Amino acid sequence: MSTVTERKEQRGEMLRVLDSIEDAVLNFYEYRLDSDRLEFTIKELNIYVYATFPECAPDSPRRILNYLKNCGSLDYEVISRRRSQYRFKKLPPMQTKMF
C-alpha cells in the first residue's frame, strides 16, 4: 500500500473517530439540558463518552467540548477549574448548530 493511500485511510479513520466523539458530547449536552441537570464534571462527561465510544483517548471529550463551544454548537461556564466542574448554558433556539 502506498504512503499516500495509508495517509488517506488514516485521515478517514481520524475523522470517523472525531465525529463519534463529537456526537457523544452533543448527546451528553442534549441529555443534560433535557433533564435540567446543567452542572457536570469532566469525569461525568468522560464516563458518558466512553460508554458509547470506549476507544476514545483520555482528553478527547474535553477537547471536543471546547471545540463545540468555540463553534457555537453548545455553551457552558466553568464553575470550578480545580474540581473540573462546569455548567451548561442553554442557547437561543436559532443559535444551536448541529453538525
Q: What is the pLDDT of residues 29-39, one digit of tens each?
A: 999 999 999 99
Q: Report how many domains make up the chain.
A: 1
What does pTM read for this prediction?
0.80
Question: Going by C-beta distance under 8 Å and a sequence separation of 6 or more, which residues neighbour residue 17?
Answer: 53, 55, 56
Mean pLDDT in residue range 24-32: 96
**Per-residue pLDDT tens over the stretch 72-94:** 999 999 999 999 999 999 887 65
DSSP 3-state assignment of 76?
Answer: strand
What DSSP designation does 55 have? T
- pLDDT at 16 (0 to 100): 73
Asked whether 52 and 27 are in contact (CB, 8 A), the reply is: yes
Range of the domain at 30: 3-95
Confidence of residue 24 (pLDDT cuts 50, 70, 90): very high
Residue written as grid cell 476514545: 56
Mean pLDDT of all residues belonging to the chain:
87
CATH code of the domain containing 35: 1.10.10
